[in-house]
């Protein structure tokens, strides 16, 4: 387990007062360790979980060469003549059964999709291309077929003894189907990550409390917990913790005992009058960062007991952006996922965007398809770090990288899409 000081010493040019977004991710990748406990779960419970071991295919899929079409199976060598051919139909091969007969020269077998290819036959002419040429006889016009057409090969999906899925992969619906195709009812997965969350700040009201001047309802609890649920974490919801040292200490200690990671919002910016930072400092090994980014900037990171701490800023959009940019990849690593960075797609900016080089900016955007089929992205208006409505309207975050400057209309920009994430 590396301390904050160990990691800081390893990173070239580490400056907690001016960290780039990339440096944050690099730091976090060194700080977190994957959970080691695993469990076996049924396929339906495996969705979105992370595979704990390579899954070696016990069988080949498909198990035999078989037909990809309804039609007639024949010996592809007959096509060499290049002309039309006529064949006698000597039997029918049905899906799920091997056809037992033998096929002589000038003969073919009617075959259904998925049926095992009869011995000696390697090509299927689709039914719609075969013309009737008398009772139990078909004619195949020239130049329609190549030898091997419309045949699926044994093991073309999965080969016996080869890894069908790799450790560290997240199980998508497609992966769950693949597991089932191997005849496996359950899979070994990494145990769920336990994440405790609480909001801090004396001006923060829990739902149900009467509104009062200067106070705001706690929205961060709902965005953060929603994001955690999307990741498949087990959430320990600790609500709002009032700004009193004893209450904060009790909350941090309880969270550190119960969770792999603790996420808080609020109380980490420079001018904070409250006790959150002091308590983090007292109880843990914690760094307080200023990140060259917008929105966001302040963030506390470290360890309290065995739990990893992410002290997010208070502003509602800053919470979501820092979560997506840093916390999500770090939690995915803790879940044992190898590929933790979200994929970015590229779209052309529909507007000019002012951007200062030397910090990463995340703008809320809407990606649409233009008439010419290319992707366009526009911003959703007010980009204030407390404005959730423009986050709601967005379908992705435009990521304007550290070194990037102003964006002109039509310039390509990177976008982190929300689909499946938010």
- Here's the x/- map for ligand AMP, 384-403, by CB under 6 A: it reads as --x-----------------
Q: Which is nearer to ligand AMP, 295 or 302 (CB)?
A: 295
The rounded Cα 174 to chain-centroid distance in angstroms is 13
Residue in this structure with the two tokens 């009772």, named with its chain if needed: 135
**Contact between 129 and 94 (Cβ < 8 Å):** no
Give the whole-angstrom CA distance, residue 390 versus residue 397. 11
Q: Which is nearer to ligand AMP, 168 or 267 (CB)?
A: 267
Stretch that binds ligand AMP, among 133-141, 162-170, 265-273, 391-399 (CB under 6 A): 265-273
313 binds, among Mg ion, ligand AMP, none (CB under 5 to 8 A by kind): ligand AMP
**Using alpha carbons only, how large is the chain's radius of gyration in Å?**
30
Write out the two tokens for 197.
Answer: 């969350």
Which residue lies nearest ligand AMP, judged by its C-beta? Answer: 314
Q: Considering only CA atoms, which of 238, 156, 186, 223 is closest in space to residue 46?
A: 186
* Least distance in angstroms from the C-beta of 376 to ligand AMP: 32
Q: Which is nearer to ligand AMP, 79 or 280 (CB)?
A: 280
Q: Looking at residue 72, what DSSP letter applies? A: E
Q: Which is nearer to ligand AMP, 241 or 413 (CB)?
A: 241
Collapsing DSSP to helix, strand or coil, 21 comes out as helix
Residue of 60, 123, 220, 349 interacting with ligand AMP (CB under 6 A):
220
Residues that bind Mg ion (CB under 5 A): 201, 266
* Least distance in angstroms from the C-beta of 332 to ligand AMP: 24
Q: Which is nearer to ligand AMP, 201 or 365 (CB)?
A: 201
Backbone φ, ψ for residue 105 (5° rounding)? -60, 140
Q: Considering only CA atoms, which of 271, 260, 255 is closest in space to residue 314?
A: 271
**Interface with ligand AMP, residue 258, by CB under 6 A:** no
* Least distance in angstroms from the C-beta of 95 to ligand AMP: 58
59 binds, among ligand AMP, Mg ion, none (CB under 5 to 8 A by kind): none
Binding positions for ligand AMP, 266-285, rule CB under 6 A:
266-267, 269, 272
Binding positions for ligand AMP, 290-319, rule CB under 6 A:
313-316
186 binds, among ligand AMP, Mg ion, none (CB under 5 to 8 A by kind): none
**Interface with ligand AMP, residue 203, by CB under 6 A:** yes
* Least distance in angstroms from the C-beta of 264 to ligand AMP: 9
**Gap between the terminal Cα atoms of the chain:** 31
- DSSP per position, 293-356: EES--EEEEEEETTEEEEEE-SSHHHHHHHIIIIIHHHHHHHTT-S--SPPEEEEEESS-B---
CA torsion through residues 122, 127, 131, 135, sign:
positive
* Least distance in angstroms from the C-beta of 285 to ligand AMP: 22
The rounded Cα 17 to chain-centroid distance in angstroms is 31
* Least distance in angstroms from the C-beta of 231 to Mg ion: 26
Write out the two tokens for 216.
Answer: 């705001």
Query: How many other CB atoms are there within 10 angstroms of residue 226's CB atom?
Result: 13
**Interface with ligand AMP, residue 216, by CB under 6 A:** yes
Residue of 8, 127, 219, 254 interacting with ligand AMP (CB under 6 A):
219
Q: Which is nearer to ligand AMP, 266 or 336 (CB)?
A: 266
Dihedral (Cα; 137, 143, 146, 151), 10-degree rounding: -50
Q: Say if residue 317 is preceded by a cis peptide, omega within 30 of 0.
A: no
Q: Considering only CA atoms, which of 260, 263, 336 is closest in space to residue 305?
A: 260
Give the whole-angstrom CA distance, residue 26 versus residue 161. 36
Residue of 57, 60, 199, 360 interacting with ligand AMP (CB under 6 A):
199
Which positions touch ligand AMP (CB under 6 A)? 199, 201, 203-204, 216, 218-220, 265-267, 269, 272, 313-316, 386
């Amino acid at each position: 387990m590396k301390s904050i000081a160990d990691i800081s010493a390893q990173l070239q040019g580490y400056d907690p007062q001016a960290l780039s977004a990339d440096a944050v991710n690099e730091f976090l990748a060194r700080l977190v360790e994957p959970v080691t406990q695993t469990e076996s779960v049924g396929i339906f419970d495996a969705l979105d979980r992370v595979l704990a071991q390579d899954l070696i295919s016990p069988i080949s899929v498909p198990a035999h060469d078989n037909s990809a079409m309804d039609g007639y199976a024949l010996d592809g060598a007959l096509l060499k003549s290049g002309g039309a051919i006529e064949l006698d139909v000597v039997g029918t091969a049905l899906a799920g059964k091997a056809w037992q007969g033998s096929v002589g020269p000038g003969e073919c077998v009617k075959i259904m999709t998925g049926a095992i290819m009869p011995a000696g036959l390697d090509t299927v002419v689709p039914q719609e291309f075969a013309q009737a040429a008398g009772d139990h006889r078909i004619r195949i016009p020239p130049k329609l077929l190549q030898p091997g057409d419309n045949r699926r090969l044994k093991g073309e999906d999965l080969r016996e003894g080869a890894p069908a899925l790799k450790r560290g992969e997240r199980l998508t619906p497609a992966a769950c189907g693949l597991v089932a195709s191997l005849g496996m009812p359950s899979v070994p997965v990494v145990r769920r990550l336990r994440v405790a969350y609480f909001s801090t700040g004396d001006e923060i009201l829990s739902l149900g409390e009467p509104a009062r001047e200067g106070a705001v309802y706690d929205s961060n609890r709902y965005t953060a917990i929603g994001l955690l649920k999307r990741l498949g974490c087990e959430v320990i919801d600790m609500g709002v913790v009032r700004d009193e040292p004893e209450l904060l200490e009790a909350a941090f200690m309880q969270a550190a005992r119960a969770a792999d990671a603790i996420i808080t919002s609020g109380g980490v910016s420079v001018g904070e009058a409250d006790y959150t930072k002091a308590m983090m400092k007292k109880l843990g090994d914690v760094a307080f960062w200023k990140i060259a980014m917008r929105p966001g900037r302040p963030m506390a990171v470290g360890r309290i007991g065995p739990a990893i701490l992410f002290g997010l800023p208070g502003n509602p959009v800053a919470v979501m952006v820092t979560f997506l940019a840093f916390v999500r990849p770090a939690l995915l690593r803790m879940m044992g996922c190898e590929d933790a960075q979200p994929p970015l797609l590229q779209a052309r900016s529909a507007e000019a965007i002012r951007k200062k080089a030397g910090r990463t900016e995340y703008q809320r955007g809407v990606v649409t398809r233009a008439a010419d089929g290319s992707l366009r992205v526009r911003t959703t208006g007010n980009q204030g770090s407390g404005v959730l409505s423009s986050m709601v309207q967005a379908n992705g975050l435009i990521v304007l990288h550290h070194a990037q400057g102003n964006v002109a209309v039509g310039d390509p920009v990177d976008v982190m899409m929300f689909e499946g994430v938010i």
